[in-house]
């Protein structure tokens, strides 16, 4: 693995970017529109706390790796895994208590496909935790699969049209991962270009359904 400022700090930086995007995406729930209906739903509050806990775990864990503190990374790993399970349970509950698949909007249909794939990738990342590259790539490629809800709300709360801006931001996040892989390993991992191809195929499928 080639080491430079970008490769050393990439996953830590990406974790912070996702956290900041999440804060902006749900700033209406926390600051500007606290009286909205979702804030009176205890499960939605629990879901939000779990999601923010997960992004904080990402920041802590990637910082341990950045500083080569593998002992603390491993100790904290079981906590991260438990939070990941809670996160997937809450996401799946929300995803599958919505209307039938055929009645969902475009992104709703896509997210219902991405969520179980993300769950599988997180589980496999834990099973492959001794393979550093595969462990990291599965976690973050899985995260990028499920970024649409955050990106749409992120754009909306910044006064940007999600239909226009969410997809380009999503693609930029994937490109940043491509750049990291090429800079670090001098090649492109199949998980990365396969993940982007998978997103395109899912969009084509739900667009024709």
pLDDT (mean) for 110-130? 89
Among 111-120, 128-137, 179-188, the range scoring the smallest mean pLDDT is 111-120
At which residue do the structure tokens 């879901």 appear? 47
Q: Where are the domains of the chain?
A: 5-207
88-119 pLDDT, tens digit per residue, is 888 777 766 667 777 888 888 898 889 889 98
| Rg of the chain on CA atoms, in Å | 17
Contact call for residues 186 and 2 (beta carbons, < 8 A) = yes
Q: Residues near 9 by Cβ (< 8 Å), separated by ≥ 6?
A: 66
d(CA 115, CA 101): 14
Using pLDDT thresholds of 50, 70 and 90, give the confidence band for residue 60. very high
Listed in sequence order, the residues at least 6 apart from 36 whose beta carbon sits closer than 8 Å to its beta carbon are 28, 29
Report the Cα 159 to chain-centroid distance in Å.
22
The mean pLDDT value of the chain amounts to 88
Q: Which of 183, 101, 188, 112 is nearest to 145 (CA)?
A: 112
Would you put residue 98 in left (φ > 0), alpha (ψ -120 to 50) or beta? beta
Contact 6, 180 (CB under 8 A): yes
Max CA pair span of the chain: 50
pTM of the model: 0.90
pLDDT at 8: 95
By the 8 A CB rule, do 80 and 56 touch?
no
Cα–Cα distance for residue pair 45/10, rounded to 1 Å: 30
């Amino acid at each position: 693995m080639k080491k430079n400022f970008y490769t050393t700090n990439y996953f830590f930086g990406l974790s912070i970017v996702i956290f900041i995007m999440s804060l902006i995406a749900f700033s209406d729930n926390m600051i500007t529109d606290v009286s909205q209906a979702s804030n009176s739903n205890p499960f939605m509050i629990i879901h939000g706390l779990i999601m923010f806990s997960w992004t904080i775990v990402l920041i802590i864990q990637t910082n341990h790796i950045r500083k080569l503190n593998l002992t603390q990374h491993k100790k904290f790993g079981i906590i991260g895994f438990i939070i990941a399970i809670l996160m997937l349970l809450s996401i799946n509950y929300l995803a599958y208590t919505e209307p039938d698949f055929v009645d969902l909007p475009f992104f709703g249909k896509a997210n219902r496909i991405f969520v179980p794939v993300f769950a599988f990738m997180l589980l496999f990342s834990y099973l492959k935790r001794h393979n550093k590259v595969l462990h990291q790539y599965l976690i973050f490629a899985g995260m990028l699969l499920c970024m649409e809800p955050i990106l749409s709300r992120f754009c909306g709360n910044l006064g940007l049209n999600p239909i226009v801006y969410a997809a380009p931001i999503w693609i930029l996040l994937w490109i940043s991962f491509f750049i990291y892989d090429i800079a670090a390993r001098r090649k492109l991992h199949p998980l990365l270009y396969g993940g982007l191809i998978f997103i395109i195929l899912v969009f084509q499928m739900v667009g024709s359904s």
